[in-house]
Amino acid sequence: MEIRGLGYIGITAEDIDEWRPYGNMLGAMVSDDGVGLRLRFDERPYRVVVGKGTGGLAFAGWELPDSDALENAVAELTAAGFTTDRGSVDECQLRNVRGLVRTTDPGGFALELFHGPVLDHKLFVSPSGVSGFTTGAHGMGHIVLGTPQLEESVDFYINLLGFRVSDYWRPGGDDVVFLRCNRRHHSLALVPASEPVLYHFMVEARTLDDVGHTLDRHIDSGIPISMSLGKHTNDQMVSFYSRSPSGFDVEFGCGGLLVDDATWTVTQITKPSFWGHRSPTP
């Protein structure tokens, strides 16, 4: 399968309106789509959709290059025993794509495989002055999912969707698996969990100053910081984590590693960060 990147995600919140100031604080342009809110980080009409719910991941939209690739994906999923559901014309219009197919991964997460993002050609201007975000060929960022079906999910994403392992981390008896589908070190990480859960999503700003100013805005506004500024060992990201209005974390960083498939060697890290990323003291 030819997954090109994480195109968008849908998340839920008990109070959608709390995402307006929080999204602006992240540097996103926030708008209504008639159902919920949309967070825009680049030339795409949105990268995050916020709908009403208890707080979590509603769906992850994985991008394919064209309609032929989408049809091939449907055939491969069907042959592997996975049910697919094609998006209607109205559903595609709501998502701003030319075609999409829904399925569910072994851990219970809803996926949307899509092609043909429809652009509106509006200029992205961050309301908080973020200089821009690293997206494009690398997708919107990454998501970290806790799954009750770790082995089955890793097999699904690697052997069916075509992801590649970047590295592993084993903080306990099971692996945390970091997976890539483009040059971004990981677009997806899978963590063993008792039930499906979104731990965080990440957006990557262009500069360290963007990260520093955004951290200051969080502190000045009293937004809880889940982990302090730090640098990860595997993807080299300099970032901090804040608690979103939905209850999960958002990682805001810069300087993420780009993998060269010709030279990359899969390793196992033994700690997640070189420095920082400390939990707040009581």
Q: First vs last Cα of the chain: how many Å apart?
A: 47
Structure tokens of 241?
Answer: 């984590």
Q: What is the pLDDT of residue 172?
A: 84
Q: What is the pLDDT of residue 49?
A: 97
What type of residue sits at position 263?
T
pTM exceeding 0.85:
yes
Tokens 């974390």 -> residue: 249
What are the sequence ranges of the domains in the chain?
A: 5-117, 136-276
Q: What is the pLDDT of residue 254?
A: 98
pLDDT in tens, the chain (282 residues): 999 999 999 999 999 999 999 999 999 999 998 889 999 999 999 999 999 999 899 999 999 999 999 999 999 999 999 999 999 999 999 999 999 999 999 999 999 999 999 999 999 999 999 999 999 999 999 999 999 999 999 999 999 999 999 999 999 889 999 999 999 999 999 999 999 999 999 999 999 999 999 999 999 999 999 999 999 999 999 999 999 999 999 999 999 999 999 999 999 999 999 999 999 876
Length of the chain: 282
Q: According to CATH, what is the number of the domain 5-117?
A: 3.10.180.10
Burial 238-251 (b: 16+ CB within 10 A, else e): bbbbbbbbbebbbb
Phi, psi at residue 44, to the nearest 5°? Answer: -75, 150
Reference 99, options 122, 65, 75, 76; nearest CA is 65
Is residue 118 within 8 Å of 96, Cβ to Cβ? yes
Is residue 69 within 8 Å of 78, Cβ to Cβ? no
Q: What is the pLDDT of residue 282?
A: 65
Q: What is the pLDDT of residue 35?
A: 82
Residue 30: its H or E element: strand 29-32
Q: How many CB atoms lie within 10 A of CB 163?
A: 24
Fold of 136-276: 2,3-Dihydroxybiphenyl 1,2-Dioxygenase; domain 1 (3.10.180)
3-state secondary structure of 180: strand
Q: How many CB atoms lie within 10 A of CB 260?
A: 8
